[in-house]
Amino acid sequence: MNTETEIRVKGMQALTGALGLVDAERFMAANSRDRFNYTEWRRLGLPDMAVQDLAAAANLIGPQLPGQAGKL
């Protein structure tokens, strides 16, 4: 089990790895500025799919996004 500090560090590493430093900061600022409820968003904001199916769909769409070619 990770400590809260370890979770925060790993979370920031994941964000910066996926979004880059500037967009990760923008994401954090948007979440602190808005009354964003991640749990509610996760429950209602994603399709009702198994994680494996959602990941497969994302893997199909990802390379089509601008700037993502060859990043898999």
* Backbone angle region of 64, left / alpha / beta, with phi > 0 → left and psi within -120 to 50 → alpha: alpha
pTM for the whole thing? 0.46
Average pLDDT, the chain: 82
Q: What is the pLDDT of residue 17?
A: 93
pLDDT in tens, 17-31: 999 999 999 988 887
Report the C-alpha gap between 11 and 25 in whole angstroms.
12
